[in-house]
Amino acid sequence: MNARMFPVPARHQGKVYVITGGASGIGRACAHRFAQEGAQVMVADIDAAGQGVADEIGGSFFRADMSDPVQVCALCAATLDTYGRIDIWHNNAFSAVFKPIQNQTLAEFDAITGVGIRGYWMGAKVAVEHMLQRGGKGVIVNTASVQSFVGEKGFSAYQATKGAVLAMTRSLAVDHAPDIRAVAIAPGLIKTPAVEGIPDDVMEEVITGIPAKRGADPEEVAALAAFVGSEEADYMSGTAVILDGAYLAIG
Ligand SMILES: NC(=O)c1ccc[n+]([C@@H]2O[C@H](COP(=O)([O-])OP(=O)(O)OC[C@H]3O[C@@H](n4cnc5c(N)ncnc54)[C@H](O)[C@@H]3O)[C@@H](O)[C@H]2O)c1
């Protein structure tokens, strides 16, 4: 199954798209998808590998640590310098050490939430400020997770970020409708470098618990992001769209 086998519409011609965590996995696939649909893409990541993604798609790269508000502001400024506007800002970067709370340090919690809550909030803030100033429409896409909805063992700090992302998405949508939309996308198991380290036997058990009996390709998430970020989804705001092979449907 590869979502690239499907025809790709040209919904993002003339749009400028910022993707954080764009060097890898879902972010990289989103950078490719939005570029294929005609967007000018700013790839942001703490990892300089984002330059390679930008080169592949004819976009730009800005190295930014999303937990540092100064660097988030610099990312916004660099995008405006390069492209003159921002239409879709996609908060997607994450970094996490997965441990049960008794083994997790406060420093790890601060680092995880620094990217996953403060970084998302700061990204939304600079994007909304720009969109309001421009007096135009815009979209904030936030990558959440199935773990925004259910508990899984050993993920307390990470799940705190993903719950916050949903609440923040709702709030942004209510504050800025109808001109600025905010939508969360909530993936289940996606085959990215983030899950590569999971031992085979654990992965087998995870897949057994997914009715679709597979993880998805990052391109499938990118296809969803490109839809929710487009004008076709103009009535969709303040909600989360789940892409999980019926994982949550089990209850
Ligand atoms: N892979 C999955 O199964 C899955 C499931 C649900 C949700 N998600 C979510 O999808 C998003 C992308 O995950 P992925 O699987 O593609 O992971 P990934 O590890 O492939 O990519 C994450 C990217 O974020 C970047 N990053 C890390 N810290 C950063 C920082 N401080 N500033 C800027 N960039 C930083 C990394 O360098 C990397 O390029 C995350 O928000 C994750 O929570 C993933």
Condensed to tens digits (0 to 9), the pLDDT of residues 203-229 reads 999 999 999 999 999 999 999 999 999
Give the percent of the chain with pLDDT over 70: 98
Tokens 């680092």, residue located: 111
**Model confidence at 5: pLDDT above 80:** no
Q: Is 121 in the pocket of ligand 1 (CB under 6 A)?
A: no
Residue 14 alpha carbon to ligand 1 centre in Å: 27
Smallest CA separation from ligand 1 atom 21, residue = 24
pTM score, whole prediction:
0.97
Condensed to tens digits (0 to 9), the pLDDT of residues 129-139 reads 999 999 989 99
Lowest-confidence pick of 1-5, 140-144, 150-154, 189-193: 1-5
What is the predicted pLDDT for the residue at 175? 98
Q: Is 115 in the pocket of ligand 1 (CB under 6 A)?
A: yes
**Model confidence at 1: pLDDT above 80:** no
Q: For the packed helices 106-113 and 156-176, what is the interaxial angle rounded to 10 degrees?
A: 30
Smallest CA separation from ligand 1 atom 37, residue = 47
What is the predicted pLDDT for the residue at 206? 95
Q: Is 192 in the pocket of ligand 1 (CB under 6 A)?
A: yes
Position in ligand 1 atom list of the atom nearest CA 22: 39
Position in ligand 1 atom list of the atom nearest CA 71: 32
Q: For the packed helices 120-134 and 69-83, what is the interaxial angle rounded to 10 degrees?
A: 40
What is the predicted pLDDT for the residue at 6? 78
Candidates 17, 83, 120, 158; catalytic one = 158
Residues 6+ positions from 184 with CB-CB distance below 8 Å: 141, 142, 143, 144, 148, 165, 166, 169, 239, 240, 241
Tokens 């420093």, residue located: 107
Average pLDDT of the segment spanning 10-23: 98
What the chain holds in terms of domains, given with CATH numbers, is: 13-243 (3.40.50.720)
- Return left, alpha or beta for 84; rule: phi > 0 is left, psi -120 to 50 is alpha, else beta: left
